[in-house]
Chains A and B, each alone.
Chain A
């Protein structure tokens, strides 16, 4: 990891607050954290937690009520031009300009950033995102998945050192997810910093070195992904049953139809849980014991933050 004194962090949030309607709605309530250069960072949180608001403040689409945000050391308000040049944002909404073809769209986007003669890089983006045969198609003719790929290409057209993806895989098929992650992981290896918000926790677990969890406008967890997984209940008991669970187990179980998942911190807790089930006469089918994943950590932290 680069030492903090040698270069500014890729992204720095400093006590960022955002209120709407004269303070009645508090979307961000003092968010502070840094993302060092080269990191693949995941921002998780339930709907309405403030993820998109935080991205909007970062990208200059919204203004913070209080606090500061910097990209590669450039303040997003006072030095917005430098901050935005350093940033490539893939917006969440599937938007496009129906007047132009894919190549025109990308050339125009390059021009906005003052990048001239960018066709070599545009071709590389089209190739890597599986869009090469769509270069001359009008944006209106593309399927949803193809439009999403163009959004990614547009965000990268000026070769920004910091890439922000706001739920890029929502409603996207498996093939595009694979293509996209392959490409983004490559860019990250080449030194780009990546900030990702996603609903797919397995994605975040697989890709992100560090994770921040946002709830009701506050950061409720911030750690390396491996630490988050280690720090909470790490074992998961999974079984099927039709019977009612004993109260103490029901309280910490996640039930989906017949499927019950209960977390345990260690082997002893697994044994006591199973013993309690047997004592209560709960018949258990298809018992599995596995490692907890990010989803379990997420639920545990979100429940904890509620209390």
Chain B
């Protein structure tokens, strides 16, 4: 194996060795959301005429799991290595900043996709969401996972202690995922909050992803794709620049 594939392999092995925590637990959490919200709201909320609420919920929960777990993988791996000091083994190697980026983000995307597939597999059993266009589904999963893996990489470089990482996750990532339309259509919101939702890149990831299942969405999937791709390119450029500088990892 060459350097970048070794780091990718190590990052995948790292989360796979604690699979109950990194894959099993998020799948169970998503299923709980589906059971509780689906059961209580099925008869009260109608988002699209042709789609039941439980069905509507499934793609949102799948995407939320993909995004949160992709972020969690790169960010927790980096902060743990920084705090325990074993990042030195990587810093001593000839691996380039691009190799770090590809390996960390790639492994984060793999975890996101693994959890997402698990959630889809289990929840679809309750209410099959159907499939309108596989290409949208795949495009938004991969780009979304890549974007969140990249954000996790940036957060992992920036944070110096677990507390800062928890703050990043709980005060930025969590609100942005919850307010992105996982549990509702933004069209049901008052005008002002609809506007705010449209500033949230997570909204486009989930809306575009849902389009692939139902063939209907709040905004054009092409607009969503443009926003998500731009966000990925911008964050990737930032992450690469930080890695080149050795930001907070080389003094």
Q: Which residues of A contact B (CB under 8 A)?
A: 20, 56, 59-63, 80-82, 84-85, 87, 89, 91, 93, 95-100, 104, 108-114, 116, 154
Contacts and interface: CB of A to CB of B under 8 A. Distances in A.
B86 A112 contact: no
Contacts of A59: 91-92
6 contacts: A60-B91, A61-B91, A84-B94, A93-B88, A96-B86, A100-B13
Contacts of A100: 10, 13
B6 A60 contact: no
A116 B1 contact: yes
B2 interface: yes
Given A61-B91, A84-B93, A99-B14, A111 B9 contact: yes
A61 B246 CA distance: 9
B84 A98 contact: yes
Given A61-B88, A95-B86, A95-B88, A113 B93 contact: yes
B14 A89 contact: no
B199 interface: no
A97 B10 CA distance: 11
Given A84-B94, A99-B14, A111 B6 contact: yes
Contacts of B237: none
B89 A80 contact: no
Given A96-B86, A111-B1, A89 B92 contact: yes
Nearest to A93: B85
Given A81-B96, A95-B86, A114 B2 contact: yes
A82 B9 CA distance: 23
Contacts of B240: none
B12 to A, nearest CB: 11
Interface size class of B (residues with CB under 8 A): 20 to 34
Report the 9 A-B pairs with minimum CB-CB distance, sorted nearest first.
A111-B6, A81-B94, A95-B85, A112-B93, A62-B251, A84-B94, A97-B86, A111-B1, A95-B86
Nearest to A164: B92
A97 B81 contact: yes
Given A20-B251, A95-B86, 10 more contacts: A63-B246, A82-B94, A84-B93, A95-B89, A96-B84, A96-B86, A99-B18, A112-B93, A112-B95, A114-B2
Nearest to A62: B251
A113 B1 CA distance: 9
Nearest to B77: A99
Contact of A87 (B89, B92, B246): B92
Contacts of B72: none
B92 A56 contact: no
Nearest to A112: B93
B94 A109 contact: no
A89 B17 CA distance: 28
Contacts of B94: 80-82, 84-85, 112-114
A84 B86 contact: no
Contact of A62 (B6, B81, B93, B250): B250
Contacts of A62: 250-251
Interface string B218-247: 000000000000000000000000000010
A87 B7 CA distance: 19
Nearest to A109: B89
Given A84-B93, A84-B94, A113-B94, A61 B250 contact: yes
B19 interface: no
B3 interface: yes
Contacts of B91: 59-61
Given A99-B17, A108-B10, A112-B7, A60 B92 contact: yes
Contacts of B14: 99
A63 B6 contact: no
B5 interface: yes
B90 interface: yes
Nearest to A96: B86
Contacts of B86: 95-97
B2 A111 contact: yes
A56 B90 contact: no
A91 to B, nearest CB: 5
Contact of A84 (B1, B88, B92): B92
Contacts of B3: 111-114
Given A82-B94, A97-B86, A154-B89, A61 B5 contact: no
Residue from the set A63, A95, A99, A116 with the largest chain B CB neighbour count within 10 Å: A99
Nearest to B87: A95
A39 B96 CA distance: 30
Interface in B170-217: none
Contacts of A91: 88
Nearest to B93: A112
Contacts of B5: 111
Interface string B3-40: 10111011001100110000000000000000000000
Contacts of B246: 63
Nearest to A79: B94
Given A97-B81, A98-B84, A99-B13, A112 B90 contact: yes
